[in-house]
Amino acid sequence: LKSGNAVVLRGGSEAIHSNIAIAKVFAEGATAAGVPGGAVQMIATTDRAAVGELLKMDAYVDVVVPRGGKGLIARILDESRIPVVAHLDGVCHVYVDADADLDMAKSIAVNAKLQRPGVCNAMETLLVHADIAADFLPDAAQALDMGGCELRGCEKTRQLIACAEATADDWTTEYLDKILSIKVVESFEEAVDHINRYGSHHSDAIVTERYEAAERFLDDVDSAAVYVNASTRFTDGFEFGLGAEIGISTNKLHCRGPMALQELTCLKYVIRGAGQIRE
């Protein structure tokens, strides 16, 4: 409403009564504040066919912002005639470079995984350069283990620490839990390739003291948020100073990253003249 838009709400069937009650309070509050009637509406049916009909109404609805499981978002992307801002997986990475401060790297890794593991900006895969893996992984693994984190590693990782074997599926899994996959990489290039291949283009970080590596990472990693020497947990509209967010977009158009008030608006060019004509 603050962005000048009306809103149509459609919640999950498992909470239909709560959805109706909350929407009613929103609508009444908006009307009491002088907002035109009908600015807050809700589809008060659990019939899934209603979603399909809504997705055809491109003459009336400007954007769809789906929040939910992969199946729901995939269906909306497939069926919608309306632009969709998708909030998809958060398969986020922290890459510990050969020139990293290892104490800093351990602190960032533990925070990125365990500060709140059930959210989309939590780290799901830890990448470690082979040159420092033997010095870094035992201490990092101990700290993660103390936090109750289950570790799954590649063959090189398992030669250095005790952990389960990581499978190919682990590299693309958003655990949303105290589970972490770990891979030892031979080079900066291998780390970036892994992130761009298996990640979800959400939030990824490098820990390094080398300026050139940091700048290359920022340029080469194709994600909505890229970090140098900081936890991925900061990808959040409030933390970025944007206020309340609707979601974190992994799209490239029309918005990317935390989606807040500005992303619910579009440009309008206003020209005031005094009789000018084009030659």
Same domain, yes or no: 96 and 118: yes
Same domain, 129 and 206: yes
Please check whether residues 73 and 178 belong to one and the same domain: no
- What domain range is 221 assigned to? 92-234
pLDDT in tens, the chain (279 residues): 888 899 999 988 899 999 999 999 999 999 999 999 899 999 999 998 999 999 999 999 999 999 888 888 889 999 999 999 988 789 999 999 999 999 999 999 999 999 999 999 999 999 999 999 999 999 999 999 999 999 999 999 999 999 999 999 999 999 999 999 999 999 999 999 999 999 999 999 999 999 999 999 999 999 999 999 999 999 999 999 998 888 899 888 888 999 988 888 888 999 999 999 999
| Termini Cα distance of the chain | 42
CATH number of the domain residue 99 falls in: 3.40.309.10
CATH number at residue 260: 3.40.605.10
* Residues 170, 257 within the same domain: no
Residues 121 and 212 in one domain: yes
Chain centre to alpha carbon of residue 45: 29
pTM of the model: 0.89
